[in-house]
Structure 1
Amino acid sequence: MKLNKYSLALILGLSTLVSCSDRMDLLNPNQQTSSTFGFNADDLEECVIAAYNHIRMEGSYARVGYTIDVCRGDEAWNSSQVWYLPFDDLNAEVTSDITWWPWREWYYTINVCNFTISRCSEDNSQLSDKMKYIKGQMLFLRGLSYYNLVGYYQNPPLITDYATYSSLDGLYGGNSTYDAVLDQIEKDFHEAMELLPSRDKGSEWAGGRATCGAAAGYYARTLMMRHKYNDALTVLKDIIAKKYGTYRLMDNYGDNFREGSAYENNAESLFEVQFLDYGSQGTDDEWTPVNTSPNATQGSAIESNFAPGNYGGWADISASPWLYHLFKGERTINGTLDPRLYWTIGTYETDWADFEYGNVAYTQTLTATDNIVTNNTYGGLPIAKFTNLRTGLYSTVTTGLHDGINLRLMRYSDVLLRAAECENEVNGPTQQAIDWINEVRNRAKLADLELEDFNTADKLFEQIANVERPKEFGCEFGRGFDLIRWGFFYDNSRLQQLKEHGTVRRSTEGVKNPVNYSDIANDPELKSSFDTYLPGHEFLPIVQQLMNNNPNLKGNSANYSTDNSSYFRDNGWTVRSVVDLSK
C-alpha cells in the first residue's frame, strides 16, 4: 500500500466552531470541519490514509522515532558522538528538543485514530465489512502509537475518547500508569484482531495495510511486556498455525532488507512501514509534522543515519563490536559465515567474494585492504540493514528522507523466536522451543541446537536473548524494548553484561578488533554507553516544555532518576541469571 498522495493530514486541527452569521452558509470542501466530515466510509478511509501517513514522520519511523531505540540497545552505538549521543548514553536531558519528537508524532496519529473510531459504532456486529476494516486499522494504529509511547516514555497520558478534545481538561490530561496504558494497548490490538482480515485476502491486505496477523503479533508483543507468557504463547501458536494468515520465512534473509515489489510486503512480513522506492520519490524533504507537500520524498532517513561518511551518509550509528564478533563466532554447516552478517554489518570478508552482490559498499567493490568505517573521525562498523550498502543500487547516499526500503517492523522470525521464549518461560527448555529456534537457524544454514545442551530455562533464555535475537534482529528497532521487559537494567550482573556488550572503540583504526570492558580504564579510545546509565533512564524523560504547557503532566522515572526495579519485582517477575554459554 504505497501512499502516493497525502490526504487529510490535518485532523488534529479540525474545528468545531459554528457560524453565528445570518448569511447563507456554504460548505467549502477544502475547509471541512468535524461537524461536516467523517460521516461515511469514504471520508473515514481518508482518515485511515492520514494515520498511515503519520507513522512515516521523523518522530515516528522515518528517523529518530526508529533510531532512538536502535541506539538504546547494546547492538549499536552513536559513532558520530553527537546528535543521538544522549540516547546512546541513556542520559537524555529534559530540555532536549529531539526527545519529544516521537511524543509529537504518535499523539498526532492517536488524534486521527480517535476521531475515526468516534464515527464507528461501538457495536461491531452492526458494522459493514468496510467499516469493520476501517475501525480495525485505526485500533491497530492507536495501539501501535501507545506501544511506542509507553516503551519510550513509561507513563504517557491515555486519551481514547475524541470528545475529550472539546475541553481544556480533556486536551491537557495527566499521566496514566504504565499498566493502564498497556491495558489499553492490549484491548486495541485484541479488538483489531477480530475486525481485520488476514493477508490471505490479497490485494492491499497483502500490500501494506494492517491485518489481523499484524494485530495478533503486536498483541503477543504487548502481553510479553508484562510477562504474560502463557497468554502470548497461545496467540503466537495461532499465528504459526495460520489462524491469522499464511506466513513463512523467506528463503533469502536479505529479501527483508531490499526495496521493490519483489521483496517488500513479502510472506515473512507481519507489518511494515511503506516508503516510496528509489527513483519514484519527490524532491522535498519535509521534516515538519505536517508533511503536506505534493512533492514530498516519502522516504525515510534511516539510511542517512546509518551510512558511512565516505558514501554521503551522516555516519551517526554503528554496529557494536560485540555483535560483529557474535556473528564471527559461529559458522554455518558449510563452514562459511552466517549470511545475516552480510546484511547486518558492512565489512569486507573473504566469504563474501561470491555471495549476493559480493564485497561491495554501494557500487564500490571492496578489497581486503579497504578499511570501511561509519564515521570518518570516530570509526565504527557500518550498519547495512535498511540501506543500499549491499544492493549496488547507487554509489552515494542522497541524504535526507530518500531511503525507499520499507521498514519491516515485525517479521515471522520474530513470531518463532518469541514463541520459543514463551515456551521456555512456561514449560522450561522443551524440544518445541528448540524446534522453533532451529527453524530460524536453518535459514542461515546454522547447525541445529540440541535440547540436551540446555538443561535449564536460564541457559536457553541466554541463547535466545543474547545469541539468536541479536543475530536475527541486530540493529533493528526493538532491542531497547526487550532490555526493559527482561529487566536487564534491574540486575547488577545483567547491567554489567550490557556494559560489556556496549564497549566500543572510538577510532578509525582496528574497528574489527575485539574490545574488552576491563580495558576501559587504561585505554582512552574505549567507552561503554551503559557506564552513564542511571536508574530510571531506560526510558526517555518527558521534556520540560511539555510539562510547562500542561500543568497536569508530570515527569517519569527518567525525569527523577527513580529506580524501577521494585515495580519489576513486585509483579513477581525475575531477571534470568547470566549464563556462560561456552560451558
Structure 2
Amino acid sequence: MKTIKILKYKLIALCLGLMCACSGMLDEELFSQMAPENYLTTQEGIKSTLDAAYAEGYLNGYSHHSVRNIEEWCTDIEWETGGGENRTAVLMIDFTWDASVGWMYGDMWLKPYRAIRNANVVLENVKSANIGDELKQTYAAEARFIRALSYYYLHSWFGPVPLRQSSEDEIYLARPSEEEMRQFIESELLAVISDLPAPGEEQAYGRATNGGARALLTKFYLNTKQWQKAADMAQEVMDMGDYSLYPDYAMLFRVENEQNSEFILAYPQIPNSPGNNYMNGAFPEGFANHPETGLTFQNSWRNWAAQYRLYDSFYNSFEEGDARMGLIIESYVNGQGNTVSLLNNDNTRSFKYWPDPNGLGNEHGNDVPGVRYADILLSRAEALNELNGPNQISIDLINMVRDRADLDPLELSDFMSTAQLRQHLLNERAWEFYSEGKRREDQIRMGTFVSSAIDRGVTNAKPTHVLFPIPQAALDANEMLVQNDGY
C-alpha cells in the first residue's frame, strides 16, 4: 500500500542517518508493532486511524461552532453582534460572503477532506490487517460511512466536489457532475447499512450504526428532493423500533440526558476540548442568573463578547403555549441585580444547549444532534406532502412532534394545498430545530432562502447564494477546480 511504503521509506532514511552517526547501534533487528511498516496491520493502527477520521468528520468543538454559525446567520432565525467573529457574521447576515471566508476553508473544506483521507487510509489497509474478519467488515463500513458523511456535508455546502476515493488518486481532480456526486453518496450509504452495527451494539457511543446511516440517507434524499426515497427511508428508520421522541423537549439537550432514544446520529462533545461552545455566545451581556429556571452563571463558564441573538419575527412566530419556547430566554438578571428585558429588540436568546454544570472555559459537554427522530418524522411528512399533497399520514406525523410541544393537533382540513402544508412544515421545523444548523438547508429546499433574505432587507441576495463559494485556497491548490456561479 502506498501509505505503508511512504512510512517505510521514511524509516529507512532515518536508520541510514543514525548508522552514519553511530555505527553498530542498530545491529539488533527491530520487532515491534509500532514500526511504521507494521502499524497499519494492527487493530490499534486501524482503529486509531479510523478514530482520526471520526474526529475530522464529526462536527465537534470549534468546527461545530463555525459550521452552525455559518448555517444559521444567513437565515431568518438568528444573527450576531460583537467579538472577533462578527467579521464573519456580517458577511453571512448581509450575503456578502466570498471565497476568502476562513471558516469555510478550515472547517467546511479542509476538515471534511482530512476525514476522507483518513477513511481512505483505513479502507486501503484494513483487508490485510491482522484482525478478525467481522471487525474488518465493521471498520470498513464505518470508514465508508464517515467518507459519505463528509461528502454529504461538502455537497450541501458547495455542490459537487472532487471525489477522492484513494491515496493513489491524481493530485488534481475535477468536480464530478451533480448526478455522479449524488450517486456516490447514495451508493456508499446503502452499501454500509448491512455491515454497520445495530443501535446499541456499536463499540462506543457516537460511532456509526445502521440507524445512523439510514437517517443520514433520509436527509440526503430529502435535501435532493427525491421524495419517494426520502419517505421510504424515513419509514425504514421508524420501523427499526429503536428510536422515539424524548418526552421532555426542554430536557432533551441537557448533558445528563444524552445518549437518549431521539439522537440517531450524535456528535459527542466533552466539557474541555473539543466541546460544545454555543452557550458562550448565547449568554447575554453581564448574565448573572435566570430566576424563572434558577440558572446561575458559574465562574468556570465563559460569556463571550460575541452575542448570538434571535430575530423577533422568529420569536413571535411561535404558537401560544409551545413548550419549545421554554429554551428561549426573554429576560435575565445581570451582575448589578437589574432585570434586563430582551424583548422587542431582536435579542431573545436560545439556551437550547443548556449550560453544562461541569463545563470548563469555552467548552460544554452537550452532544450535538446530527439527526434526531423528530427530523425523521417531519421528513417523511414533508416527502409525502410533496408526493400527494396534504394527507392524513403527514398530519399524524406532524402531530406527534406537536404533542410533545403541548400544542393542539392539526386537522387535515386546515390545509387546502401542498404549498400550504409546505409552509407549515417550514415553520414547524424552525420551531423544532432552531440553533441546530438546519434552517439554511430547509429554506433552500423549500425555496425561501433568497426571498426571505430580501424580505429582511438583504437586497443583494441572489439565487446563486444557495451554494457557498469554493474556498480560494482550494482553487489555488487544484488547477482543475472551477468556482461556483456567482463568485
TM tier relative to shorter chain:
0.7 to 0.9
Q: Deviations over 1:31-54 (max 9, x none)?
A: 754x43322434212222112222
Q: Which moved more, 1:432-441 or 1:149-158?
A: 149-158
**Shift in Å at residue 416 of structure 1?**
0.3
**Shift in Å at residue 387 of structure 1?**
4.2
SS at match of 1:163: coil
The 8 Å contact of residues 67 and 302 in structure 1, kept in 2 or not, is answered as: no
- Aligned-pair RMSD on alpha carbons? 3.2
Name 1:184's counterpart in structure 2: 184
Name 2:330's counterpart in structure 1: 347
Name 1:224's counterpart in structure 2: 222
Q: Deviations over 1:209-256 (max 9, x none)?
A: 2111110011111112221111111111111112xx510001101232
Question: CA 1:483–1:214 in 2, change beyond 3 Å: closer, same or farther?
Answer: same
Name 1:516's counterpart in structure 2: none
Q: Deviations over 1:182-235 (max 9, x none)?
A: 22111222122121122143x746x22211111001111111222111111111
Name 1:299's counterpart in structure 2: 275
Name 1:274's counterpart in structure 2: 268
Decide which of 463, 477, 488 is 2:437's aligned counterpart.
Answer: 477
Name 2:299's counterpart in structure 1: none
Aligned pairs for 1:160-559 (under 5 A) are 160-164=165-169, 170-201=170-201, 204=203, 207-242=205-240, 246-260=242-256, 263-277=257-271, 281=272, 297-311=273-287, 312-327=303-318, 330-331=319-320, 337-343=321-327, 345-348=328-331, 369-372=339-342, 380-388=347-355, 393=357, 400=362, 402-465=363-426, 467-489=427-449, 495-500=450-455, 503=456, 528=457, 530-559=458-487
Percent of aligned pairs with the same amino acid: 23
Q: Deviations over 1:288-319 (max 9, x none)?
A: xxxxxxxxx22133222333232412334322
TM-score (ref. length: structure 2): 0.84
**Shift in Å at residue 384 of structure 1?**
1.3
Decide which of 138, 145, 151 is 1:146's aligned counterpart.
Answer: 151
Question: CA 1:428–1:32 in 2, change beyond 3 Å: closer, same or farther?
Answer: farther
Between the aligned partners of 2:60 and 2:136, the Cα distance in structure 1 is 30
Between the aligned partners of 1:443 and 1:531, the Cα distance in structure 2 is 38
Between the aligned partners of 1:487 and 1:236, the Cα distance in structure 2 is 22
Name 2:47's counterpart in structure 1: 45
Q: Which amino acid aligns with 1:150?
A: H
Between the aligned partners of 2:62 and 2:439, the Cα distance in structure 1 is 17
Between the aligned partners of 1:237 and 1:365, the Cα distance in structure 2 is 53
The 8 Å contact of residues 256 and 408 in structure 1, kept in 2 or not, is answered as: no
Between the aligned partners of 1:413 and 1:347, the Cα distance in structure 2 is 26
Question: CA 1:446–1:309 in 2, change beyond 3 Å: closer, same or farther?
Answer: same
SS at match of 2:316: helix
Between the aligned partners of 2:245 and 2:5, the Cα distance in structure 1 is 43
**Shift in Å at residue 110 of structure 1?**
0.8
The 8 Å contact of residues 217 and 270 in structure 1, kept in 2 or not, is answered as: yes
**Shift in Å at residue 448 of structure 1?**
0.5
Between the aligned partners of 1:234 and 1:95, the Cα distance in structure 2 is 40
Question: CA 1:32–1:536 in 2, change beyond 3 Å: closer, same or farther?
Answer: farther
Q: Which amino acid aligns with 1:370?
A: V
Aligned length: 453
SS at match of 2:88: coil
Q: Which amino acid aligns with 1:268?
A: E
Between the aligned partners of 1:149 and 1:59, the Cα distance in structure 2 is 19
Q: Which has the higher helix share?
A: 2
Name 2:294's counterpart in structure 1: none
The 8 Å contact of residues 12 and 108 in structure 1, kept in 2 or not, is answered as: no
SS at match of 1:72: coil
Decide which of 94, 97, 100 is 1:89's aligned counterpart.
Answer: 94
The 8 Å contact of residues 55 and 109 in structure 1, kept in 2 or not, is answered as: yes
Between the aligned partners of 2:452 and 2:195, the Cα distance in structure 1 is 43
**Shift in Å at residue 100 of structure 1?**
0.7
Between the aligned partners of 2:265 and 2:152, the Cα distance in structure 1 is 14
SS at match of 2:464: coil
Structure 2: segments with no counterpart, 5+ residues:
20-25, 288-302
Name 1:117's counterpart in structure 2: 123
Between the aligned partners of 2:133 and 2:385, the Cα distance in structure 1 is 41
Question: CA 1:60–1:117 in 2, change beyond 3 Å: closer, same or farther?
Answer: farther
SS at match of 2:470: coil
Question: CA 1:147–1:57 in 2, change beyond 3 Å: closer, same or farther?
Answer: closer
Q: Which amino acid aligns with 1:264?
A: E
SS at match of 1:162: coil
Between the aligned partners of 2:337 and 2:387, the Cα distance in structure 1 is 47
Between the aligned partners of 2:91 and 2:198, the Cα distance in structure 1 is 40
Q: Which amino acid aligns with 1:435?
A: D
SS at match of 1:109: helix
Q: Deviations over 1:367-419 (max 9, x none)?
A: 8x522489xxx96222212242xx7x38xx8653x122111111100000001
Q: Deviations over 1:121-151 (max 9, x none)?
A: 59xxx98332222122212211111111111
**Shift in Å at residue 499 of structure 1?**
3.6
Q: Which moved more, 1:19-28 or 1:476-485?
A: 19-28
Between the aligned partners of 2:307 and 2:163, the Cα distance in structure 1 is 33
SS at match of 1:83: helix
Q: Which amino acid aligns with 1:256?
A: L
Between the aligned partners of 1:456 and 1:106, the Cα distance in structure 2 is 40
The 8 Å contact of residues 215 and 234 in structure 2, kept in 1 or not, is answered as: yes
**Shift in Å at residue 82 of structure 1?**
3.0
Between the aligned partners of 1:251 and 1:162, the Cα distance in structure 2 is 46
Between the aligned partners of 1:460 and 1:185, the Cα distance in structure 2 is 29
The 8 Å contact of residues 424 and 460 in structure 1, kept in 2 or not, is answered as: yes
Q: Which amino acid aligns with 2:113?
A: Y
